[in-house]
Amino acid sequence: MKFSQKYRIACRAGLALVIFAIGLTACSSGNESSSDGSGGKQASGPTTGRLIDAVVSGVAYSTSSKKAGTTDEDGIYNYNHGDTVEFKLGSLTLGKVKATAIVTPINLAGDSNNRLQNLLVLLQSLDSDNELENGISIPAAAAAAVSDSINLDSDPAVFASSSALQSVRQKGGIVGAIKTAAAAKAHFLSQGISLLSTDVWVKYDDTTATIIRTSVANAGEYLFGEAVADDPCDINLVCGSKPISKAGVEYGAISLLEFDLRGFKIVGEPAIDTNLQAGLSHLRPNWRIYTDGSELITTDIVIAPRKVEQSSIFGELFHIAKPLKLSSSKEKNKMMTKEVRFSRMENIASGIVGAWVLDKTTIKTQTYLFFSNGIYFMVDPVGDLDREGSASCGSPGVEFASYTYDAATKKLNLKGATFNTNGCVGFSDNDPTTFSVDADGDIATVKMKDGSSHVLHRVSR
């Protein structure tokens, strides 16, 4: 089967005219929110989450469904899907938030940056052995001594040296120095890549797909792949004559620079980059990333769309490739927070649905995603390497098609490919015939049309 490449320009002037005429937003940057990829199913029933700076044990919690207790040695608390949860030390409420798989001081701080910094100092300074690498364990005596007179919204410089905090440590038998605000922030920042690496994160529908995967290996690395139409517009809907993003793949190093109430500021340094300015290689200064364990959330501060006046529809078209025109030199563009949510890759333990890789020891490997809506997406950061006596016939890229799978016969069929940017690699020029999953659901053997076979490893959970 041959895959046909289809390059499309999403923001042609003619299309923009139609969209402006009906008052809709034009020229998507390829980063807008889409389906959560779960088919609209809402989880229900009991589950567990974790309280994390490092894992934090010894914190009392209570939920809206009447579950209550103290976080255990792994930071785990119990809740029902849909709950809110309140965390407390003694009589001091640390925060009341939506119960999720991961809760950190970022959640608990609400909209107070002071509270965020002081929560980090408080939790880390109450660790029983001052060894944050093995987790934060808060002694019961220290927790009981915490009073609601402690002001988590106070000046962080004052909070870290407060007599109230020192008194709690003494009553809890904790020795050593209180963590400084700088040290507390540095420690939490060091946990960021590990937090983001809990799952394979995806955003998809019937025509597009995006994957983000990170790892703590090699001091931090990432894999990003996207199957989307060529787009000449940036996130502020300023468009040019040439694409600035297209379907492709990135692989490289990732590092965290800082964090705030929206999450972590990161920088991606790609070794492989085939998608122009998309992905993590050209992040804007206000772009942030965070996870609650169920979703990966990215945010950016962008120019709010202008209200279109019907009397000047044609005039609206001429801001393309130019800054937005203001009605007054004193007028400022209105800004807004743009949010994109990625879901955990869905997974059927005994079936084909899930994320599979050729090499489970690295994220720089060909990655195959089979979604429950019949979409196949392959992200390839490797390509077809030159071999002795044989030149390369492929390069890093992506494949995107629909698929059918018969669980009884194990027959796999791909069809209707939209994207194939990696040449002969993957399933593009050599059709798979069967996809057999082992009894444990962790390994699959794929037999190809030419008689060869590949062993894939499941990385979705």
Can you say whether residue 104 is alpha, beta or left, with left for phi > 0 and alpha for psi between -120 and 50 degrees? beta
pLDDT-based confidence at 328, cuts 50/70/90?
A: low
Q: Concatenated DSSP letters for 98-162?
A: E--SEE-HHHHTTT-HHHHHHHHHHHHHT-TTS-GGG-EE--HHHHHH--TTS-TTS-HHHHTT-
**Cα dihedral 153→336→29→321 (10° resolution):** -130
d(CA 337, CA 353): 33
d(CA 426, CA 423): 8
Has residue 32 got a pLDDT over 70?
no
- Report pTM: 0.85
Has residue 244 got a pLDDT over 50?
yes
91: how many CB neighbours lie within 10 A of its CB?
A: 12
398 touches 421 (CB < 8 A): yes
- What are the pLDDT digits (tens) for 364-413? 999 999 999 999 999 999 988 655 555 677 799 999 999 999 999 999 99
Return the pLDDT at 27: 40
Q: How far is CA 335 from CA 229, 242, 266, 302, in A?
A: 26, 26, 21, 5
Return the pLDDT at 332: 81
Q: Which of 359, 53, 56 is nearest to 195 (CA)?
A: 53
d(CA 75, CA 298): 25
Q: Output the CA angle 171-58-197, nearest 5 degrees.
A: 135
Domain definitions of the chain by residue range: 57-190, 354-458
d(CA 66, CA 43): 18
- What are the pLDDT digits (tens) for 409-449? 999 999 988 999 988 878 876 788 999 999 999 999 999 98
Report which of residues 25 and 203 the model is more confident about.
203
Average the pLDDT over 78-83 and give the result.
Answer: 98
Return the pLDDT at 424: 82
Q: What percent of the chain has pLDDT over 70?
A: 84
Has residue 26 got a pLDDT over 70?
no
Name the 3-class secondary structure at 450. coil
- What are the pLDDT digits (tens) for 116-166? 999 999 999 999 999 999 999 999 999 999 999 999 999 998 999 999 999
> Between β-strands 102-103 and 46-51, what pairing exists: parallel, antiparallel or unpaired?
parallel
d(CA 77, CA 70): 7
Return the pLDDT at 317: 55
> Number of helices (H) and strands (E), helices first, in the chain?
9, 25
- What are the pLDDT digits (tens) for 270-305? 999 999 999 999 999 999 999 999 999 999 999 998
71 touches 56 (CB < 8 A): yes
pLDDT-based confidence at 33, cuts 50/70/90?
A: very low
Has residue 87 got a pLDDT over 60?
yes
Chain mean pLDDT for the chain: 88
